[in-house]
Structure 1
Amino acid sequence: MTTNGYAMIAQVRFRELKTRVGLALFIAGTAWFLTKGLWPIGWFAVVVVTQFIDWLVFRPTRLNTQMPLSRAYRVVMCLTTTLNVVVYSAISAYLWMTGGEAGRLFAIIQVAGGLLHVSLHMHHVRPLLLSAVVPHSLYFLGLPIMGAVLDGQPQDVLIAIGGVLYMTHLIVAVRQSSMTTRALQDANDEARAERRKAEVASAAKSDFLAVVSHEIRTPMNAVISAANLLRRTRLDREQREHVSMLLDAGDVLVGLLNDVLDFSKIEAGKMQLEAQDIDLRDKIGSLIRLWEPKASANGVRLKVLIDDAAPARIRTDPLRLQQMLFNLLSNAVKFTEDGTISIAVDWRAEDGRLIVSVADTGCGIPADRLAHIFDSFEQVDAGTTRKYGGTGLGLAISRRLAEIMGGRLTAESVEGEGSVFTLSLPVEVAEASVVEPKRRAMADDALAGKVILAADDHAVNRRILTLLLEPHGCRIVLVENGAEAVEAAAAQRFDAILMDMQMPVMDGLEASAQIRLHGLNRQTPLIALTANAMDVHRAAWDATGVHAFLTKPIDPVLLAETLAEACSGAVNDTVVQNVA
């Protein structure tokens, strides 16, 4: 047996120390009651001494479960165990000889109990088991045999025979218990090994997704930014259509990447919700404005009906609500080639539920496929993917988000007639507040004359930043890594700093911390502009006190507005670009 077995028994004996001493006190009191002698008191005093010795001997391995055990130390533990058993059960011999029939019965029961106890909790370590069982057995069988021989009571032999049968059953029970314990230990070891494998696999998947996300976003930033820059130039109608197709395809690719990242977060149980007060009708209206042009292009009409009883403002996670409704509308527009898409918003006051139904007159879903449309990577058939595109993650993510938020998402459909998706979500009614004025459009000269430090190790990204920002009248100082950013920030005052995350020599997080420590730009607004878009990266930037967190591909309008806001010197909440 490994040294861990000795340590485990040492811990068990320590936990049971008070119980053994208390039981010894009860036995001493019973023995005194049966014999009216002083020997039980002396026996109890010796038991206390031997229990202290036991505590002292087993203490080192109990405190250090991994300590190597020498052969001599193991022998000492076995001898200590034998001494304790001999002393503890010595009272049985005393009661057998002086306690009459009641004393003999009590003595045999006490030894039988001791045998059962040591067999169950010491069977992990055979030397200790034998050290405890042998003395108990000598008492258990020796007392009846001694009575038969010395006292001339042959009926005591029957007690000894009964003792043998008891010990036989005990051996079988201990063996079965040992096998069960070993099987449980093996199962636990296997489960721990599998859990370690799963944790390693999960970490590898997270690392892989982080790398893939970064590596895809970096070239996508170049593609989408170049398309945005191209759209600013003088183009004919056909060229503008080509640029629009390029931007639409880029948006689809970024959306697919975000879906995969969201699904990974949900699967890992790392999806976090943030409750905020939102204007319900504004939220629905913004989604309608987004999808109405695409629906109209297909000859489809969007209709909206909002229950008058629905609260003006609700408290929920606005990003996840928007994501679910976005997926439902996207699904409806994608699969409806003519007719109508109806969005109905109802309010169930009795349990505070918002009910949003999206009904379309599209192709519908076959009955045998309806139960699977919320499965990951599922679509109606392979032809659906070829014709309409997509990964089949949108509905799966939406249902999982609804469940995480305490709601549910269901679907009804008739093939050839259309589908109805219903989102039922518990929300809180928020207090009506004074309507804040809409944010003013950025002034044309908001960045004029501003000096911006931009750190990015990718030459194309630096070129894109120059082309995007210089038309606003600002001057861009470009550096290739964090160390150069720290050096530049120590030499010149900037109005704002754009910082990439992964860079050679010194990364963006360390560079930001260095800039914040000392120098001319300790208070300069710092904006993270990175292809590292996962939550762990967002949290790392938040810890640096970053003014804003923007992700690539770059949104030119959001970038310019964020810089203008930062350079204005106004105190604002951190700006966060949603990546979902």
Structure 2
Amino acid sequence: MDNWTLKAIQLISRLLAPLGLGLKRDFDLRLAEQKSLAEIQLQQELAQASAQIADDIRGPLMALTTLTHLSHEMGADKKELLKVAVGRIRGIVNDLVQAPADETSDLVTVIEPLLKEYKFSNPSTQWALHNHLSSAQVPVDLDTVQLQRVLSHLLDNAVEAVPENQSSIEVTLMERADHYLLQIMDNGCGIPEDLLPKVAEEGVSHGKEKRHGLGLFEARKTIEALGGELQIRSREGVGTQVILLFPKKFKSEEALVM
């Protein structure tokens, strides 16, 4: 190839290079637009599905609400439990159709009735609540429904892990200098050592035939968004200990300081 031909090729390459970049840029823009449209469509479909689910739940919820007023022969404990369950369902319905309120909740007020519900549903398990807090209230930077959802995920995991006989689940509340601590300990099957670092990742589960391991992942994601932490300790054949650390200083307060 002579010098003239080589220079001609190089010149043509330089002239076409901007065109190639322009085509790539146009392709990237179109791809981003399609992705954005797909995300918007998905959000709309999820919103529609949430509204439909909420609408479907309202009928049974109304029936349960009526039952709480008519259940004169029901014992006080069972009547209180029914009211708690109705309140939880109503909160879930509201959460489906509207954005959660920007509020705090009290950890003690949420965990006590929740444990009553689980005790009633799982009478063969020995339940215990150890409250070592110095204050009567523990403010958490989550609304009530969000906090109930996190704790329910963890309690469900514990219930599924414990044996049929001599099963026990203990919940402990403690306070440290910069955080509140909630511990859920069971005497279940435990988690293999090689799976333990991954068990709170999305889609990873252990010993669940009908569930897909979203509970720990969702709980960890929610707690970490507050600036808190979820810790898991476990031994196979002994049990599992899940610890939630709730920061005393809320993220909203940190933003004001900054």
Partner of 1:381: 208
Equivalent residue for 1:224, pick from 64, 73, 82: 64
Write the mapping of 1:26-105 to structure 2, written as runs, cut at 5 A. none
Partner of 2:38: 197
Provide closer, same or farther for how the CA distance between residues 428 and 191 of structure 1 changes in structure 2, counting only shifts above 3 A: closer
Equivalent residue for 2:182, pick from 347, 356, 364: 356
Deviation string, structure 1 residues 234-266 (Cα, Å, up to 9, x no partner)? 79xxxxxxx99xx79x97x959x949x77xx9x
Write the mapping of 1:452-491 to structure 2, written as runs, cut at 5 A. none
Partner of 1:341: 169
Deviation string, structure 1 residues 67-113 (Cα, Å, up to 9, x no partner)? xxxxxxxxxxxxxxxxxxxxxxxxxxxxxxxxxxxxxxxxxxxxxxx
Quote the offset at 1:421 in angstroms.
0.9
Partner of 1:415: 236
Quote the offset at 1:360 in angstroms.
1.0
Asked if the contact 1:303–1:340 (Cα under 8 Å) also holds between the matched residues in 2, the reply is no
Provide closer, same or farther for how the CA distance between residues 229 and 369 of structure 1 changes in structure 2, counting only shifts above 3 A: farther
How many Å separate the matches in 1 of 2:170 and 2:229? 20
In structure 1, what residue type is equivalent to 2:132? I
Asked if the contact 1:342–1:358 (Cα under 8 Å) also holds between the matched residues in 2, the reply is yes
How many Å separate the matches in 1 of 2:171 and 2:52? 39
Quote the offset at 1:397 in angstroms.
2.8
Quote the offset at 1:299 in angstroms.
4.2
Q: Which runs of 5+ in 1 are unaligned?
A: 1-164, 236-242, 430-580
Provide closer, same or farther for how the CA distance between residues 340 and 182 of structure 1 changes in structure 2, counting only shifts above 3 A: same
**Which has the larger Rg?**
1
Deviation string, structure 1 residues 297-341 (Cα, Å, up to 9, x no partner)? 214131414255x79554522513343234323433454342432
Does residue 317 of structure 1 match 2:142? yes
Asked if the contact 1:294–1:333 (Cα under 8 Å) also holds between the matched residues in 2, the reply is no
Asked if the contact 2:199–2:216 (Cα under 8 Å) also holds between the matched residues in 1, the reply is no
How many Å separate the matches in 2 of 1:424 and 1:334? 23
Partner of 1:327: 153
In structure 1, what residue type is equivalent to 2:57? R
Partner of 1:176: 17
* Greater helix content: 1
Asked if the contact 1:399–1:409 (Cα under 8 Å) also holds between the matched residues in 2, the reply is yes
How many Å separate the matches in 1 of 2:179 and 2:47? 35
Deviation string, structure 1 residues 359-405 (Cα, Å, up to 9, x no partner)? 111233344654245535956232xx3xxxx6754433322211222
Write the mapping of 1:114-129 to structure 2, written as runs, cut at 5 A. none
How many Å separate the matches in 2 of 1:366 and 1:169? 62
Does residue 212 of structure 1 match 2:47? no
Structure with larger RCO (C-alpha < 8 A, sep 6+): 2
Equivalent residue for 2:221, pick from 397, 400, 409: 400
In structure 2, what residue type is equivalent to 1:354? Y
Asked if the contact 1:332–1:362 (Cα under 8 Å) also holds between the matched residues in 2, the reply is yes
Asked if the contact 1:410–1:423 (Cα under 8 Å) also holds between the matched residues in 2, the reply is yes
Partner of 1:493: none
Equivalent residue for 1:302, pick from 125, 128, 153: 128
SS at match of 1:428: coil
Provide closer, same or farther for how the CA distance between residues 428 and 183 of structure 1 changes in structure 2, counting only shifts above 3 A: closer
Deviation string, structure 1 residues 437-462 (Cα, Å, up to 9, x no partner)? xxxxxxxxxxxxxxxxxxxxxxxxxx
How many Å separate the matches in 2 of 1:219 and 1:303? 34
SS at match of 1:196: helix
How many Å separate the matches in 1 of 2:208 and 2:230? 21
Quote the offset at 1:291 in angstroms.
4.1
Q: How large is the Cα RMSD of the aligned pairs?
A: 4.4
Write the mapping of 1:533-572 to structure 2, written as runs, cut at 5 A. none
How many Å separate the matches in 2 of 1:284 and 1:211? 29
Asked if the contact 2:174–2:180 (Cα under 8 Å) also holds between the matched residues in 1, the reply is yes
How many Å separate the matches in 1 of 2:158 and 2:236? 14
* TM norm structure 2: 0.67
Asked if the contact 2:182–2:244 (Cα under 8 Å) also holds between the matched residues in 1, the reply is yes
Provide closer, same or farther for how the CA distance between residues 187 and 368 of structure 1 changes in structure 2, counting only shifts above 3 A: same
In structure 2, what residue type is equivalent to 1:208? A
Provide closer, same or farther for how the CA distance between residues 375 and 169 of structure 1 changes in structure 2, counting only shifts above 3 A: closer
How many Å separate the matches in 2 of 1:311 and 1:201? 43
Partner of 1:456: none
Asked if the contact 1:276–1:316 (Cα under 8 Å) also holds between the matched residues in 2, the reply is yes
Aligned-residue identity in percent: 19
